[in-house]
Amino acid sequence: MRAFVLAIVLALLVAIYVTPDVGADSEYEADQRMALVAFAAACKITHYSCADLALPEVRRSPYLGRIGNRAVYLLTDVLWLDSELKTSLVPIAIFHEMVHYLQYNNGMPHERVTIIRCISEREAFDATNDYFEALGRSSEKISVKKFQDTYGC
């Protein structure tokens, strides 16, 4: 299963970075291509139903970093990224928020109750670590301690 996910992800990443960017709308279009890769990978890794879901749009905002966030999903069809997010973190941030998009569009409650937040973040954390592994970036996986410190769970 991981080999299959890795093959899909690597093929799409090669297509994204090798395809000439003729007439591209720069960062926005690159983010949308990364969202397509993240969507396919998140559907495979999490096993959520993706058949009836549209690909969410990725937008950037200078305000997220000012309030301490790198990326957020706000229960719409948009994933928000901090406009100052390091390039190397963009694919991972999009993937992590894509997992939240899939969670809530597959019936996970979205109340901001601590236990629900902990469950949704832990699931996204675990899936993100699986994504790191599929990308061959196992050394970047996030420790459970860091997760607990970040989310208080």
77-106: average pLDDT = 95
Whole-number Cα distances in Å, 69 to 14, 66, 84, 138:
29, 7, 11, 24
Question: Rg of the Cα trace of the chain?
Answer: 15
Indicate the pairing of strand 57-61 with strand 71-73: unpaired
Adjacent-strand bridge partners of 105: none
**Is residue 27 scored above 60 in pLDDT?**
yes
Query: Which is higher by pLDDT, 120 or 20?
Result: 120
What DSSP state is assigned to residue 140?
G
Percent of the chain with pLDDT over 70: 84
The tens digit of pLDDT for each residue in 58-68 reads 999 999 989 98
Dihedral, CA atoms, 7, 9, 10, 16, nearest 10 degrees?
Answer: 140
Instruction: Give the model's pLDDT for residue 151.
Output: 84
The tens digit of pLDDT for each residue in 92-111 reads 999 999 999 999 999 999 87
Domain count, the chain: 1
Type of residue at 128: T
106-134: average pLDDT = 91
Spatial distance between the Cα atoms of 129 and 41, rounded to a whole number of angstroms? 12
Domain range for residue 28?
Answer: 2-151
Residue 75 is encoded by which pair of tokens?
């229960």
Instruction: Give the model's pLDDT for residue 3.
Output: 53
Instruction: Give the model's pLDDT for residue 113.
Output: 84
- CA torsion sign for 136, 95, 46, 14 is negative
The tens digit of pLDDT for each residue in 6-23 reads 444 444 333 333 333 434
- CA torsion sign for 59, 60, 65, 67 is negative
Instruction: Give the model's pLDDT for residue 15.
Output: 37
